[in-house]
């Protein structure tokens, strides 16, 4: 990934983190705390990866987002969207729709699929995570991406020009 693109995806993630806190507050919740609330999250999901069911105690795991945190999906870092995932599942899933991914992971075992899907659906509705704002938000995040890319590209070009002047002077 080139650096302007990297900078804009970082800016988008920063925005979605901040918006996640705001969205939590708007829903009357205490903003999700990456330190304390992972235990609440783990407890709800029975200390397991929400996709494959692997026990996560005593191993490293990731906070995954059901709706991915990127400019197009616009998932927020907030209650109802953050789920515990083992490293393998998080690596494999990428931007894939979580229901499709869950289907893949559980294979032919539809009973396991249904159980886990209900568990996740209940989590989402319990925190009232609503998707209705994402289209409008996607306009904002797409704008942010373009603006950050433009600014970073311009800054890099400016500095390149200054460096070229230095080169001319000393080399």
Q: Which of 59, 48, 42, 64 is nearest to 115 (CA)?
A: 48
Residue 52 binds Zn ion, judged by CB under 5 A: yes
Rounded Cα gap, residues 75 and 64, in angstroms: 10
- For Zn ion, the closer of residues 118 and 131 by Cβ is 118
Which CB atom, from 12 or from 86, has the smaller least distance to Zn ion?
86
Judged by CB under 5 A, the stretch of 16-24, 88-96, 120-128, 144-152 that binds Zn ion is: 88-96
Q: Which stretch binds Zn ion (CB under 5 A): 53-61, 121-129, 137-145, 160-168?
A: 53-61
**Does residue 56 interact with Zn ion by CB under 5 A?**
no
Q: State how far the Cα of 96 lies from the Cα of 98, in Å rounded to an integer.
A: 6
103-109: Cβ within 8 A, 24+ apart: 105/51, 105/52, 106/52
User: Total residues contacting Zn ion (rule CB under 5 A)?
Assistant: 6
Residue 26 CB, shortest distance to Zn ion, in Å, is 31
* Sign of the torsion formed by the C-alpha atoms of 122, 26, 49 and 103: positive
Q: Is the Cα dihedral 152, 155, 158, 162 positive or negative?
A: negative
Does 50 interact with Zn ion (rule: CB under 5 A)?
no
Each residue 108-147 as x (binds Zn ion by CB under 5 A) or -, in order, gives ----------------------------------------
- Min dist CB 18 to Zn ion, Å, is 28
Q: How far apart are CA 101 and CA 80, in angstroms?
A: 18
Q: Answer left, alpha or beta for residue 138, where phi above 0 means left and psi between -120 and 50 means alpha.
A: alpha
Tokens of 7: 């900078």
From the list 20-28, 89-97, 126-134, 136-144, the region that binds Zn ion by CB under 5 A is 89-97
Applying CB under 5 A, which residues contact Zn ion? 49, 51-52, 54, 86, 89
């Amino acid at each position: 990934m080139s650096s302007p693109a990297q900078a804009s995806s970082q800016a988008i993630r920063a925005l979605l983190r901040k918006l996640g806190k705001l969205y939590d507050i708007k829903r009357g919740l205490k903003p999700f705390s990456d330190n304390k609330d992972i235990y609440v999250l783990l407890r709800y999901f029975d200390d397991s990866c929400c996709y494959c069911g692997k026990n996560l105690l005593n191993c490293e795991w990731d906070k995954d987002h059901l709706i991915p945190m990127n400019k197009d999906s616009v998932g927020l870092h907030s209650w109802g969207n953050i789920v515990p995932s083992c490293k393998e599942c998080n690596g494999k899933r990428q931007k894939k729709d979580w229901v499709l991914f869950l289907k893949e992971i559980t294979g032919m075992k539809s009973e396991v699929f249904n159980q886990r899907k209900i568990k996740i659906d209940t989590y989402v509705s319990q925190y009232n995570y609503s998707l209705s704002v994402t289209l409008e938000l996607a306009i904002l995040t797409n704008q942010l991406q373009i603006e950050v890319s433009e600014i970073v590209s311009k800054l890099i070009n400016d500095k390149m020009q200054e460096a070229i002047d230095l080169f001319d002077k000393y080399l």
